[in-house]
Amino acid sequence: MAVTIKDVANLAGVSPSTVSRTCKNHPSISNETKERVRYAIAQLGYEPNLSTSTDNNCIQKTIGIILPPSDKEAFENSFYLEVIRGISQFCNKHGYINTVITGQSDDEILSIIKNLEKNDMSNGFILLYSKQEDAVIDYLYNSGLLYVLIGKAYKYANQTVYIDNDNILAGKDATDYLCRLGHKKIAYIGSDNNMIFSADRKSGYMRSLEENKINYVPEYCLEFSSTQTAAEPIRILLHSENRPTAIVVSDDIYGVIFERVCAEEGIKIPNDISIISFNNSLFARLTSSQLTSIDINSVQLGIEASSQLINHIENPNLMATKIIVPHILIERSSCKQVDTIK
C-alpha cells in the first residue's frame, strides 16, 4: 500500500497541511519541524507530488494578527488598535499584507488558523496577547508554525520570539510614583492572573509595597476576567472603612470605569483619591481628571513584532529573539500629594 501524506503526518506528529507546506519549503514552518517531517518522509519512503509546489517568491506574503478570544471587549480596547497600527506601518513598507483573526473562543480562532494553514494563506502569525494556558499557542507550536508573541511567553519560552514591556518594573514604577507622593494605602485593579501582563504588573505593585515598607492588604486587590463585572466591587472598595487613598489600574479602560464609579459616588479625583493607569490611550485623556498613565509604547510593540516576524520568515535559521520595549510615565492631573487630600 502506498504511503500517504497522513502516514507522514502521524509519524512526525504534525498535521497533513504542515507536511504539504514542508514539501513546498514554506517559510512559515520552523526548521525544527521541517527536519522532523523530512525524517518521517525518509523513514516511510514517501514521495510527495511536487507538481503543485509553489516557488517561495510567488507565495503571497501575509501575516495573521490574532486578537484574544472575546465577544466584544478586544474590539473596545485601543491597545490592540495601536499595536495593529504599528504592525500595519511596518508591513506596508516591506510588502506584506495582514489579516486580523478574531473569535469568541479559542476553538473559533483555531478554526480560522487551520483554514489559513490548509490553504497556504499565511506566512506567520502575531498574537497580541499572552495568557497562561492557551490552546492557540499550543497548536501553533506543535504544528511548527512561525509566530511572534506580544507579551511574555508562558510556555516554550526558549523557542518563542516575543516582544514585551518589563511589566514587573512598570508596575513597580507606577506604585513607587504614588509612594513618592506620600500614599500608604494603595490599591490595585487588574485583569485576572491568567493574563501575563496583569500578573506581572501586580507583582511589580507588590514589590514596590515591600520595598517601601507598606503592608499588603488583600482587600485592596481587585482582579476581573471582564470589565463588565468591575463596577460593583469598585463601589464596595470605595465605601470600605479603610478606603485607599490611591490606586494602580492595569489598563486605561479600568481607569475609566473607576473614574465613572467615583463620579457616581461623589468621590473626587485626585482630591479624595489618586489614580495611575496603563497604556496612555485615548481613554486616559477623556476622563474629567486626565489620567496619569504608564505609556507602554503600543505602536512600537507592533512595529517590533512585525519586524521580528518578517526577519524570521526571510531568515529561517535565526534563533528566537526576546525584545523589551521601554515604558514612560506620563504625568497628568489624576494624582496628588497625600498631605493635600481632604
The string of pLDDT tens digits covering residues 147-191 is 999 999 999 999 999 999 999 999 999 999 999 999 999 999 999
Q: Which helix (H) or strand (E) holds 81?
A: helix 78-93
| Diameter of the chain measured on Cα atoms | 85
In sequence order, which ranges of the chain are alpha helices (DSSP H)? Answer: 5-12, 16-23, 31-44, 73-76, 78-93, 106-118, 135-142, 167-180, 196-211, 231-238, 252-264, 282-286, 298-314
Residue 49 pLDDT class (50, 70, 90 cuts): low
Q: Which residue has the higher pLDDT, 36 or 31?
A: 36
Strand pairing report for 124-127 and 62-66: parallel
| Cα–Cα distance measured from residue 313 to residue 110, given in angstroms and rounded to the nearest whole number | 21
Give residue 47's region: left, alpha or beta (phi > 0; psi -120 to 50): beta
End-to-end, the C-alpha distance of the chain in Å comes to 85
- The pLDDT value recorded for residue 50 is 52
Grid cell listed for 189: 485593579
Task: Name the nearest CA neighbour of 127 among 115, 114, 113, 116.
Answer: 113
Instruction: State yes or no: pLDDT of 10 exceeds 70.
Output: yes
- Alpha-carbon torsion (264, 270, 274, 279), positive or negative: positive
Position 3, amino acid: V
Grid cell listed for 162: 516575543
Integer angstrom CA distances of residue 173 from 6, 177, 183, 299, 334: 53, 6, 14, 21, 16
- The pLDDT value recorded for residue 53 is 44
Q: Map residue 208 onto helix, strand or coil.
A: helix
Q: Report the percentage of the chain scoring pLDDT > 90.
A: 65
Output b/e per residue, 95-113; b: 16+ Cβ within 10 A: ebebeebbbeebeebbebb
| Cα–Cα distance measured from residue 172 to residue 276, given in angstroms and rounded to the nearest whole number | 12
Domains belonging to the chain, first-starting first, are: 1-59 (1.10.260.40), 167-295+329-340 (3.40.50.2300)
- Omega of the bond leading into 326 within 30 degrees of 0 (cis): no
Residue 56 pLDDT class (50, 70, 90 cuts): very low
What is the overall mean pLDDT for the chain? 90
Grid cell listed for 251: 489598563
Grid-cell match 524570521, residue found? 312
Q: What does the angle CA 285 – CA 291 – CA 294 come to, to the nearest 5 degrees?
A: 105
Residue 52 pLDDT class (50, 70, 90 cuts): very low
Grid cell listed for 53: 509546489
Instruction: State yes or no: pLDDT of 21 exceeds 50.
Output: yes
